[in-house]
Amino acid sequence: MAEIVSLPEAVAELVRDGDTIALEGFTHLIPVAAGHEIIRQRRRDLTLVRMTPDIVYDQMIGAGCARKLVFSWGGNPGVGSLHRFRDAIENGWPAPLEIEEHSHAGMANRYVAAASGLPFAVLRGYVGTDLLAHTPTVKPITCPFTGEVLTAVQALQLDAAIVHAQRADRDGNVQLWGITGVQKEAVLAARRSLVTVEEVVDELDLRPDAVVLPSWTVRWVAEVPGGAHPSYAQGYYDRDNAYYRAWDPISRDRDAFTEWLSAHVLDRQGDG
Q: Applying CB under 8 A, which residues contact another protein?
A: 26-28, 51-52, 71-75, 77-78, 81-82, 85-86, 89-90, 101-105, 108-109, 111-112, 123-131, 134, 148-149, 178-182, 184-185, 209, 211, 232, 234, 238-239, 241-242, 245
User: Minimum Å distance from CB 152 to another protein?
Assistant: 14
CB of 28 to another protein, least distance (A): 5
- Residue closer to another protein (CB basis): 77 or 225: 77
Residue number, 67 or 86, with CB nearest to another protein = 86
Buried b (16+ CB within 10 A) or exposed e, 19-58: bbbbbbbbebbbbbbbbbbbbbeebeebbbbbbbbbbbbb
Measured from the CB atom, the residue of 72 and 173 that comes closer to another protein is: 72
Residue 239 CB, shortest distance to another protein, in Å, is 7
Residue whose CB is less far from another protein, 65 or 88 = 88
In the complex, the smallest distance separating the C-beta of residue 228 from another protein, rounded to whole angstroms, is: 12
Q: From the CB of 31, what's the least distance to another protein, in Å?
A: 14
Reduce the secondary structure of the chain to three states and give it as a string. Answer: CCEECCHHHHHHHHCCCCCEEEECCCCECCCHHHHHHHHHCCCCCEEEEECCCCHHHHHHHHCCCEEEEEECCCCECCCECCHHHHHHHHHCCCCCCEEEECCHHHHHHHHHHHHCCCCEEEECCCCCCCHHHHCCCEEEEECCCCCCEEEEEECCCEEEEEEEEEEEECCCCEEECCCCCCHHHHHHCEEEEEEEEEEEECCCCCCCCCEEECHHHCCEEEECCCCCCCCEECCCECCCHHHHHHHHHHHHCHHHHHHHHHHHHHCCCCCC
Non-local CB neighbours of 162 within 8 Å, separated by 6+ positions: 14, 21, 22, 23, 24, 31, 34, 35, 193, 194, 195, 196
- CA–CA gap between residue 228 and residue 270 (Å, rounded): 14
Q: Smaller CB distance to another protein: residue 143 or 263?
A: 143
Q: Which is nearer to another protein, 111 or 220 (CB)?
A: 111
Cβ of residue 154: shortest distance to another protein, in angstroms? Answer: 16
Least distance between another protein and beta carbon 48 (Å): 14
Between 17 and 238, CB nearer to another protein: 238
Least distance (Å) between residue 78 CB and another protein: 4
Residue closer to another protein by CB (options 14, 88) is 88
